[in-house]
A and B are shown apart, each in its own frame.
Chain A
């Protein structure tokens, strides 16, 4: 596709349920990022991939959060045993190569609500 695609757009999960959020980056983009955006706040960095390698996961808030990009294209962010504080918009972005500081293109996000 022409842009970064995320699915689902909206997800309601019961507390304790596991969820999986998908990101399809722009074709050919080497770098992929996940950000978490709480209501009324700016996006906060979660993790970063260069191809299939996860180079930085310092922003993942707990070991309940796990991200993967096994073939260097599609990425999945998984949250286990969801808690209410996990409610946020999860944004995925991709860029040609973060090392070149090219601009990142963002998807529309997945709004997760934990009830």
Chain B
């Protein structure tokens, strides 16, 4: 069975602070993909990143960075120098090779950035 846990329900920060969102996943598959999506108030899910289970290199994209650690089954996401536009709900999701198209999403973490 697949499971994604985002233990943080809501994180509030002041602009320019860094914020780290935790994601822990469970799967018995050896080949799987992990995703982060952003859901702004408008409702659509915006794709941020995809990692496969064989690539543990950390990745940085502008103010965003991701830390994938298979040993702890975690795929954490950090926003550096947060901005008000980063306010949204962020979802971590898991996709396995035996469940094409069936994303397993976490419950999401609401990030509130105040000026």
Contact = CB atoms under 8 A, between A and B. Distances in A.
A25 interface: no
A45 B106 CA distance: 12
Given A41-B107, A42-B106, A89-B43, A103 B100 contact: no
Contacts of B43: 89, 108-109, 111
Contacts of A89: 43
B64 interface: no
A104 B93 CA distance: 11
Interface size class of A (residues with CB under 8 A): 20 to 34
B101 A31 contact: yes
A106 B95 contact: no
A41 B108 contact: yes
Interface string A31-60: 101010000111111001010000110110
Given A101-B95, A106-B44, A33 B108 contact: no
B94 to A, nearest CB: 11
Contacts of A74: none
A43 B100 contact: no
A66 interface: no
29 contacts: A3-B44, A31-B100, A33-B103, A40-B108, A42-B105, A42-B106, A42-B108, A43-B45, A43-B103, A45-B102, A45-B103, A48-B100, A48-B102, A50-B101, A56-B101, A56-B102, A89-B43, A93-B45, A99-B100, A101-B33, A101-B52, A103-B47, A103-B50, A104-B47, A104-B101, A104-B103, A107-B44, A108-B43, A111-B43
